[in-house]
Amino acid sequence: MELMDKKSGIVDYGNWVAKKFIFIPASLVIIFSGLSCLSLFFLIGALFFIIPTIYFIYAYFQFSPGGGNLQSKIRDLIFNQLVWDGNGSLLDIDCGNGALAIEAAKKYSGARIVGIDYWGGQWEYSKETCEKNAQIAGVAEWVIFQKASAAKLPFANESFDAVVSNFVFHEVQDVMDKRAVIQEALRVLKKDGIFVFQDLFLWKRIYGEPADLLATIQSWGVREVKLIDTSRQSFIPGAMKLPFMVGQIGIIYGRK
């Protein structure tokens, strides 16, 4: 399993379902159940919050390595489209606990890998966990982690040979228009460099029509860009294909 490394220790890549999404509705179920003897309203409330509690427990299990291992499988879709020889440097934007950056360092030994994230309190990720995971995986020598916003990357134009990101652009709080996050990611990519971004690109409320999104990206001077629907992968259970989960994910990839 991915969790165990040849070196001693266990990598902790976290879970895309923050524990608060389980604890909050579960707590409300307990509270309302305790008060249900006072009013039918509280019983209805308890039954109402049972639904999200069960769903998020299920989703947590599906994402975890000990369950459906969906996080790993979805992350690997990035590598399926990353046609890169490993020469030079790669940037992982909003790296979380370092999963994509560390796996890239394993795959492209000798490449310089940089992972950035804001590591706010909303999610259970940290720079310290990234660095610990890199040590456990035996790639700390090739991976650098630093705090930064995806909306304003602290790098010069055309700094990286490859830029990747997995399922995070929609979470960037610094800008309303998430297309601006894509543009910023492409700014630091070298001419003729490779990019692979996976996010909720099929959710029109966030990114608009896919054809319009691709046209906008091309208008920024990108030579080649394609979009594929990754939500239809056979390994993704139907219950996980809700829009706010992974039902609207797609990969935008190409060459600048």
Q: Is the pLDDT of residue 8 over 60?
A: no
Asked whether 32 and 46 are in contact (CB, 8 A), the reply is yes
With bands split at pLDDT 50, 70 and 90, how would you rate the model's confidence at 120? confident
Domain 70-255: CATH superfamily, name plus number: Vaccinia Virus protein VP39 (3.40.50.150)
Q: Is the pLDDT of residue 9 over 80?
A: no
Q: Cα–Cα distance between 10 and 53 in angstroms, integer?
A: 28
* pLDDT attached to residue 38: 86
Residue-wise burial string across 91-127, b where 16 or more C-beta atoms lie within 10 A, e elsewhere: bbbbbbbbbbbbbbbeebeebebbbbbbbeeebebbb
For the chain, how long is the longest CA-to-CA vector? Answer: 67
Residues 122-156: tens digit of each pLDDT: 778 999 999 999 999 999 999 999 999 999 999 99
Distance of CA 166 to the CA centre of its chain: 4
Q: Cα–Cα distance between 9 and 189 in angstroms, integer?
A: 34
Percent of the chain past pLDDT 70, that is, above it, reads 97
Asked whether 91 and 162 are in contact (CB, 8 A), the reply is yes
With bands split at pLDDT 50, 70 and 90, how would you rate the model's confidence at 179? very high
When pLDDT is averaged across residues 29-50 and rounded to a whole number, the result is: 90
Residue 111: partners with Cβ closer than 8 Å, 6 or more residues away = 86, 87, 88, 89, 90, 104, 105, 142
